[in-house]
Amino acid sequence: MEEISSNNKDYQTHVYYLKFALQFADYQVDELVDSFNHEVNNKGWVGMRAYHDRALIDEFIRRGIDVSCVHNGHSTWFNHHVRYNIFENKLETID
């Protein structure tokens, strides 16, 4: 189970987090979903990935999209691909 923790708020001021946050702010929702799905079952781990993944989840949340199927407020799981349910404004797992 891949997860990232959001216990440390210092990540939000890190240059890599800010880079990804600005990038994701320009994305359409389908591009955010594609970016999430690209990370599913990715076993590689580098420090920069944590900033990418955290900024991605934060962008969904910033837009008011329900991410409860992959994020519990503390950790995020990349075990399942997701789709965006526009009618309920939420992510849903699809596998």
What pLDDT, on a 0 to 100 scale, did the predictor assign at position 9? 60
Roughly what angle, to the nearest 10 degrees, separates helices 15-25 and 47-62?
40
pLDDT score recorded for residue 46: 73
Q: Is 92 exposed, middle or buried (0-12, 13-18, 19+ CB in 10 A)?
A: middle
Q: What is the pLDDT of residue 41?
A: 86
pLDDT single digits (tens) 53-67: 999 999 999 999 999
Q: What is the pLDDT of residues 39-50, one digit of tens each?
A: 998 877 777 888
**Minimal CA–CA distance to 67: which of 42, 31, 18, 33?**
33
Residues 6, 75 contacting (CB under 8 angstroms): yes
Secondary element (H or E) of residue 49? helix 47-62
